[in-house]
Structure 1
Amino acid sequence: MLPKTRGTIALISVHGDPAIDIGKEEAGGQNVYVREVGEALARQGWQVDMFTRRSDAQQAKIVQHTPNCRTIRLTAGPKEFVPRQELFEYLPEFVEAFFRFQHQTRTIYPLIHTNYWLSSWVGMEIKKRQLVKQIHTYHSLGAVKYKSINTIPLIASTRLAVEKECLETADMIVATSPQEKQHMRSLVSEQGNITIIPCGTDINCFGSVSLAEGRAKLGIDSQSKVILYVGRFDHRKGIETLVRAVGRHEVKEHQNLKLVIVGGSTPGQSDGIERERIEGIIKELGLEEITIFAGRVEHTDLCNYYAAADVCVVPSHYEPFGLVAIEAMASGTPVIASDVGGLKFTVLDEVTGLLAPAQDEAAFARAIDIILSDPQWRNQLSQNARQRVESKFSWDGVARQLDHLYLSQLARLHQEFLTPAV
């Protein structure tokens, strides 16, 4: 039985469609976050409408996930995929479509939780025309991202300005780690309200499969030593660092080695181009026979891949949190991650896995070698990883923290409505 209805909330994720298959072009952790948070909040008693942009004319306008949680696709610009760096010009249309939906359904959202900087702009525009509380989660900070890339996009100055305005004007910013909060303060603005609520994972799905069961389902030999990567084909995800680490002698000398790369790609799109580049490096290093490109995997099937792995590697140049890390840890799989951003919060060095400097293939090779060479220690890391996720990173636990935040903001909204302006 659902608890008493708390109210209606809008989760806004312009480019991260909660109903889309994970692994498609630009579909990753943010999509998972919004959908899982939405469904968990519905279990708390909220009516949750998740707004995203329609990117295909064949897509359903509304996808009902649970009785109290649905995805609503608004038309803004062409009904086709548009890279997120080109979406800003369509945001005014998104705002108007949002208001039309409210009018047509006679629904008012007193609280909106926006995700990523594009959605924050939408949220700030809604606040100009409607009495509403805005909560925001960045998922990625431009001020951090632009430090790690050589070519700065034309949209950069707009993004940086929007992120600063959002931090200073939103009713509350949700940082997913202490490191992300620190970056907001040092790189964006000293003004604004910030609270820390981590991302979560499905602890009933991840961790439900044993190593032997996972390998049997995937057809991987029980004697194999499996190194796993899960994520998009994106230069910033650091797949090249992982591949070159596996190509070093201290890793290649391990018997029955397997490198499994999970993630979809679209020919001609940026992720397809990155996959072709990675395939070229794998050929250059002579790793074709030990490398498996698993392609796009249904989110519910990922548990088999995590379970089958000896270690999961998250070599990102930067991550504000890193959902893959906690999915792997929930599965009892030790994680080797870049010593950056929220990964320093998620992964406890030498407790649930190992941290290595980003883009340092030699350091990643040493870390992989250490874990593969010591099965007993690997098992201890595995137990520690599962325990950490159970205690800190379940979706229902995240939803309970958001529930408390939302209720406090609605109480403030009620008080503001009753208090006459001076």
Structure 2
Amino acid sequence: MRIGFVSPHSDPLAEPGEPDSGGQCVYEERLSASLAEVGADEVRTYTRRWGGKEAHRGIAEGAEVLRLDTGSEGFLRKEDMAPELPGFIEEMWRRDGDWLGKTDLFHGHYWDGGAAALMASLRTGRPLVFTAHSLGREKRDRVPEDGTLNYALRIGNEHRIMGAADAIIALTEVEKGILERRYGVDPGKVAVVPGGVDTAIYRPTADPAEIRTRHGLAEDERLVFTTGRLDPRKGYDLFLQAIPEAARRLKAEGVHARFLLPGGGPELNALERQVRDRMEALIAEHDLQDRVVLFPHLNFDELVAHYTAADLYVLPSPYEPFGLVAVEAMACATPVLATQHGGPPEIVTPGTDGDLVDPTDPEGFARALAELLRDRRQLARMGENAQRKAREVFDWRAVAGKIREVYALVLENAPG
């Protein structure tokens, strides 16, 4: 089977810390590699080239990335990608027309990838599969339009893509319900398949004591970790507002904790600098200098080492469509405190492998933090449960097998 992934803004091989790197990039990289492994498929991902990157790179045997030059240079926000899409499609065919002519189906990721994949589907008559990763109507409810987010354009295109798609892959049952309720999608063409994690590489590793020593933790001090790009939608300000009350509650019981949050790289863009400035202001306002560490970008080995060393991973986004980082942490035997809005309720089972909270409620957030952190034996038990669930439910081979079943059904029902 030949599968064309289309994802203009999201490069599967983006380096951690790059703009618009994150869970969607990881999803595309691991899914394409796992499809090639599970079904001996050929998967090519088409993304936009910028920053002097290589035009062609392999992901794994049978999976590769083609980076395409479009009408502009430099990084472009996904919100500004629409004018690039016609040129993007033309460059796909100029670069790889022979292979595209024999493609079995196109799988578009996010709305910009969905729009470009729809153009490719119309050009070839091949089926279209779509994964939204995030939905404009839901995001607009939680992050209002500020004149730069272009929700009207995004949502209009989401409706067009979903209407034309032969199948839609939702990451959660919650997302499937939103597609039916808010986009009018026939639930019969929606398959729910969660994101995955490579449990062979996301696993307890290295020496947790080294990480703890690096950050100056005492032997009995709790380590709380979160990671991700500097983006106002990630909820780091909400996390910082909950820490003072959580620390007060813990101190009353003789428990201390250190909180590790991302601080970005040496060069921040304007939006990242705004987020960093807000975080630093909250740290100063609440006198958290001795409790909060803003760490620089981590390479992969350091990321896994931090997952392993942490007593608790926190996902504080006001809304998270899925929450791949939560699954990564769980695979490293670390329990998770996550937002109750979006996909995390289908990942985290409260009281078993973590807890769920409304991060916009600072008191409730603080209470949940303190409750989890006060008992290290409970955290260890939850961590064991979390790792077991990651292996049994979220391993990428299982995820790829389910998505391949969706592809097979789409091809079976394709006209001609």
Q: TM-score range by the shorter chain?
A: over 0.9
Query: Does 2:230 match 1:236?
Result: no
Counterpart in the other structure of 1:405: 406
Stretch moving more, 258-267 or 332-341: 258-267
Stretch moving more, 403-412 or 7-16: 403-412
Secondary structure of the corresponding residue to residue 77 of structure 1: coil
Letter aligned with residue 344 of structure 1: P
Letter aligned with residue 237 of structure 1: K
Counterpart in the other structure of 1:70: 64
Contact 1:8 1:48 in 2 (8 A): yes
Runs of 5+ unmatched residues, structure 1: 1-6, 418-422
Aligned residues: 408
Contact 2:198 2:395 in 1 (8 A): yes
Query: Does 2:15 match 1:21?
Result: yes
Query: What is the rounded CA distance, in whole Å, between the counterparts of 2:283 and 2:79 in structure 1?
Result: 29
Q: Render the CA deviation track for 1:253-277: whole Å, top value 9, x for unaligned.
A: 6654211113635423312321121
Query: What is the rounded CA distance, in whole Å, between the counterparts of 1:371 and 1:240 in structure 2?
Result: 20
Alpha carbon RMSD of aligned pairs, Å? 2.0
Query: What is the rounded CA distance, in whole Å, between the counterparts of 1:316 and 1:188 in structure 2?
Result: 23
Q: Pick the aligned partner of 1:94 from 88, 99, 114.
A: 88
Query: What is the rounded CA distance, in whole Å, between the counterparts of 1:107 and 1:216 in structure 2?
Result: 54
Query: What is the rounded CA distance, in whole Å, between the counterparts of 1:50 and 1:314 in structure 2?
Result: 28
Alignment of 1:301-380 (within 5 A): 301-380=302-381
Alignment of 1:7-406 (within 5 A): 7-44=1-38, 45-56=40-51, 58-103=52-97, 108-153=102-147, 155-191=150-186, 193-209=189-205, 212=208, 215=211, 218=214, 221=217, 222-248=219-245, 249-251=248-250, 255-262=255-262, 264-265=264-265, 266-406=267-407
Letter aligned with residue 197 of structure 1: V
Q: CA deviation at 1:216?
A: 6.0
Contact 1:110 1:132 in 2 (8 A): yes
Q: Percent identity?
A: 26
Query: What is the rounded CA distance, in whole Å, between the counterparts of 1:241 and 1:388 in structure 2?
Result: 28
Contact 1:9 1:46 in 2 (8 A): yes
Give the direction of change, closer, same or farther, for the CA distance of 1:398–1:263 in structure 2 (3 Å limit).
farther
Contact 2:318 2:339 in 1 (8 A): yes
Query: What is the rounded CA distance, in whole Å, between the counterparts of 2:170 and 2:5 in structure 1?
Result: 16
Secondary structure of the corresponding residue to residue 247 of structure 1: helix
Contact 1:307 1:332 in 2 (8 A): yes
Give the direction of change, closer, same or farther, for the CA distance of 1:105–1:389 in structure 2 (3 Å limit).
closer
Secondary structure of the corresponding residue to residue 289 of structure 1: coil
Query: What is the rounded CA distance, in whole Å, between the counterparts of 2:298 and 2:6 in structure 1?
Result: 25
Give the direction of change, closer, same or farther, for the CA distance of 1:214–1:180 in structure 2 (3 Å limit).
farther
Q: Render the CA deviation track for 1:4-50: whole Å, top value 9, x for unaligned.
A: xxx22111111111111123212110000000101111112111111
Contact 1:230 1:263 in 2 (8 A): no
Give the direction of change, closer, same or farther, for the CA distance of 1:214–1:197 in structure 2 (3 Å limit).
farther
Q: CA deviation at 1:241?
A: 1.2
Query: What is the rounded CA distance, in whole Å, between the counterparts of 1:263 and 1:34 in structure 2?
Result: 25
Query: What is the rounded CA distance, in whole Å, between the counterparts of 1:407 and 1:217 in structure 2?
Result: 51
Secondary structure of the corresponding residue to residue 199 of structure 2: coil
Query: What is the rounded CA distance, in whole Å, between the counterparts of 1:158 and 1:38 in structure 2?
Result: 29
Contact 2:145 2:151 in 1 (8 A): no
Query: What is the rounded CA distance, in whole Å, between the counterparts of 1:77 and 1:252 in structure 2?
Result: 57
Query: What is the rounded CA distance, in whole Å, between the counterparts of 2:164 and 2:144 in structure 1?
Result: 31
Scaled by the length of structure 2, the TM-score of the pair is 0.93
Letter aligned with residue 130 of structure 1: T
Contact 2:106 2:121 in 1 (8 A): no
Secondary structure of the corresponding residue to residue 67 of structure 2: strand
Secondary structure of the corresponding residue to residue 281 of structure 2: helix
Query: What is the rounded CA distance, in whole Å, between the counterparts of 2:203 and 2:20 in structure 1?
Result: 26
Give the direction of change, closer, same or farther, for the CA distance of 1:115–1:220 in structure 2 (3 Å limit).
farther
Letter aligned with residue 326 of structure 1: V
Query: What is the rounded CA distance, in whole Å, between the counterparts of 1:350 and 1:393 in structure 2?
Result: 19
Q: Render the CA deviation track for 1:126-177: whole Å, top value 9, x for unaligned.
A: 1221121111110100010000023354621111111112222101100001
Contact 1:224 1:256 in 2 (8 A): yes
Contact 1:146 1:152 in 2 (8 A): no
Runs of 5+ unmatched residues, structure 2: none
Q: CA deviation at 1:207?
A: 1.9
Stretch moving more, 258-267 or 275-284: 258-267
Contact 1:246 1:252 in 2 (8 A): no
Q: Render the CA deviation track for 1:190-235: whole Å, top value 9, x for unaligned.
A: 4361010000012122223277356368565443311111112111
Give the direction of change, closer, same or farther, for the CA distance of 1:16–1:300 in structure 2 (3 Å limit).
farther
Secondary structure of the corresponding residue to residue 261 of structure 2: strand
Letter aligned with residue 403 of structure 2: L
Contact 2:318 2:358 in 1 (8 A): no
Query: What is the rounded CA distance, in whole Å, between the counterparts of 1:229 and 1:290 in structure 2?
Result: 14
Contact 1:121 1:166 in 2 (8 A): yes
Q: CA deviation at 1:320?
A: 1.2
